[in-house]
Structure formats: structure tokens, C-alpha cells
Copies of this chain bind each other. A is one copy, B any other.
């Protein structure tokens, strides 16, 4: 058995390119102690990984140059030094971008039986939990309120839109293509989907879509779309900062419209969060998401790229919005 891994070749300046990554042939590791050897089936590529390619303090340590990239993945247990897992089990966890990797059994979970294992990377995994806790715990949408979601057709956005509809809110999503907007409107029941690339003045577009103002804003993108939201927020509005993909590739400090005066006159709250801070409530979140999913109230959406060697390209594609829903690489 031959192994292969993808390393950070150099810290990218701007949008990562194929030269940011380096392939290397390596050995298949042997599971030690409580470890499990896993053959990767699906690798999740996520925008937040861009932050780890930077040599800068963030909520998670940076990748080192020459080191393997790590992200969520689903794989099949090949060999187990832990009684918790048997060969053939399909598990999810954090792994290197490798064909084979070992992980501590305590950090792995069996995927939900009877559903596509890729859901463990999307609606029933960290992505779904991010949407669930960010929207419900911070956004606190109430029936009849207006929820705006940026990056609405992205992995997290798609789940946020659907949960907001389940909470009987008016939901307005922004996305970067007419196809994505059609999908949001027709398949997910989003009330208004706005293509920010063609909408012209975003404040006007949002004002038309949100006649009662914006009570909750779930922000995946930052930048101009988020600026257009500010003049429309209502008293007591909640602005959830989940991602800022529009600026992840910039090395300049983010300059633009500042939210403070809008927060002040509306007694509004803006809060950043990382899903891991809800770790002790993951069980509750997965249980609710699984119930919605298996009862057909919550749809999973994914874009699958084939082949381990295409992992870098799948990651790079996130920044030009190639994905609808969760971007996944099938090994």
C-alpha cells in the first residue's frame, strides 16, 4: 500500500493556486495505542482553511510550510488498535489530506447509518452544526422575522436558509449566480434570492426584499454585501459573523463601512463564533439536524469533485464560488 499527501508548499499571497500545494509520496502509517487507520473516502474542503495558511494568530494554529493540510473527512477503517472501531466501519473526523491516515479513536465518530456518508461532512457534520448554533443560538430568529443569509448557496448558508424557513421566518439569501439563486428559491423555499453580481445597488435590492428591515443577518462573506445590510437592520437586530470569505485572500486590513453607528442606534448585536465553542451541545445539534433530515424537512446539497489529485483545485474553487452547497472531494 502506497500513501500520498498534500502539503502546504508556500504561504499564498492572495488567492491560493496549485503552486500553493505540493504532493508527496509517503508511507501508510501504523495505528498505535488507541489509533485507527482510515482509508479516505471523502475529503471536505472549507474556506476557513485559508486562514490557517497564513502565519497569523487566529482561532486555530496556522499550518506550517511543508506540513500536510488537515480538514474534515470521511473514511473506512482499515485497521484498528481500538476496540471502538472495526475494519469496515465508516467514520468521520479530522484527517490530513492523505489517502490513508491514522487518528485517535476518541476523535472519530461513526457516520449515521442509512444516509449518504457525505452528510457527515455537510448537514449532519460541522457544517450543519455551524448553521444550527450560529443561527439559533446567536441569531435567535423569531417567527415572522426577516433573516438575511450571505453566501446562502454555500455549505453553511444552505443549511441556515432551511433552518430559518423551519422557524417560519422570511428568508432572503445572496449568492453569486442565477443558478444558485434559482436553487435557493425553488428547491429550498428561500423567499427572495439575490444575485449580488448582477443586482446593482445591493442596499436597494435588499430593501425591496426586506420591506420590514433585517432582524437577523447570518454573514458568511463580509465585504460589500455585508455593508449593504447595515442601513436596513432593525432595533435589536442580531448579526452573526460566521465567515468572511470575500476577504480571506486579502492581506490588507479590512477597510469599509463600519457597523458601530448602526449597532448603536439599533441596540443591535454583532457576534463572531466558532462552532467548536458549542462542542458540549453537539449531541443536541446532530439529533435535531438528523430528525429534520430524515423526515425530509432539511435537504443536503453538495458539489462533488472526483479524485484525490483534484483536492487543491476543489479548495481553490471555493473562492470563485464554484460550489453549490458543501464542496467535497471523492477519493
Q: Which residues of A are interface residues toward B (Cβ below 8 A)?
A: 51, 57-59, 219, 222, 226, 235, 241-244, 247, 253-274, 277
Cβ contact within 8 Å between A258 and B259 = yes
Contacts of A58 in B (CB 8 A): 265
Shortest CB-to-CB span from A214 to chain B, Å, is: 14
Pick the contact of A257: B258, B263, B274, B277 (CB < 8 A): B258
Cβ contact within 8 Å between B255 and A257 = yes
Given A268-B272, A270-B271, does the pair A254, B261 have CB atoms closer than 8 Å? yes
Closest to A273 in B: B267
Complex-state Cα separation, A48 to B292, whole angstroms: 47
Pick the contact of A264: B243, B264, B269 (CB < 8 A): B243
15 contacts between A and B (CB under 8 A): A59-B267, A222-B258, A222-B260, A241-B260, A241-B263, A244-B264, A247-B261, A255-B255, A262-B272, A263-B272, A264-B273, A265-B272, A267-B272, A269-B271, A269-B272
Cβ contact within 8 Å between B261 and A259 = no
Contacts of A258 in B (CB 8 A): 222, 254-259
Given A256-B255, A257-B255, A258-B254, does the pair A274, B267 have CB atoms closer than 8 Å? yes
Contacts of A226 in B (CB 8 A): 260
Query: Which residue of A222, A241, A272 has the most chain B CB atoms within 10 A of its CB atom?
Result: A272
Contacts of A254 in B (CB 8 A): 257-258, 260-261
Cβ contact within 8 Å between B255 and A260 = no
Contacts of A277 in B (CB 8 A): 267
Cβ contact within 8 Å between A51 and B265 = yes
Shortest CB-to-CB span from A295 to chain B, Å, is: 32
Shortest CB-to-CB span from A250 to chain B, Å, is: 10
Contacts of A222 in B (CB 8 A): 258, 260-261
Closest to A230 in B: B253
Complex-state Cα separation, A270 to B253, whole angstroms: 19
Closest to A254 in B: B258
Closest to A276 in B: B267
Pick the contact of A269: B57, B235, B255, B269 (CB < 8 A): B269
Complex-state Cα separation, A194 to B138, whole angstroms: 34
Closest to A51 in B: B265
Complex-state Cα separation, A288 to B106, whole angstroms: 49
Complex-state Cα separation, A219 to B254, whole angstroms: 20
Cβ contact within 8 Å between B257 and A259 = no
Pick the contact of A241: B244, B253, B264 (CB < 8 A): B264
Closest to A271 in B: B269
Contacts of A247 in B (CB 8 A): 261
Cβ contact within 8 Å between B272 and A271 = no
Complex-state Cα separation, A259 to B244, whole angstroms: 11
Contacts of A267 in B (CB 8 A): 59, 271-274, 277
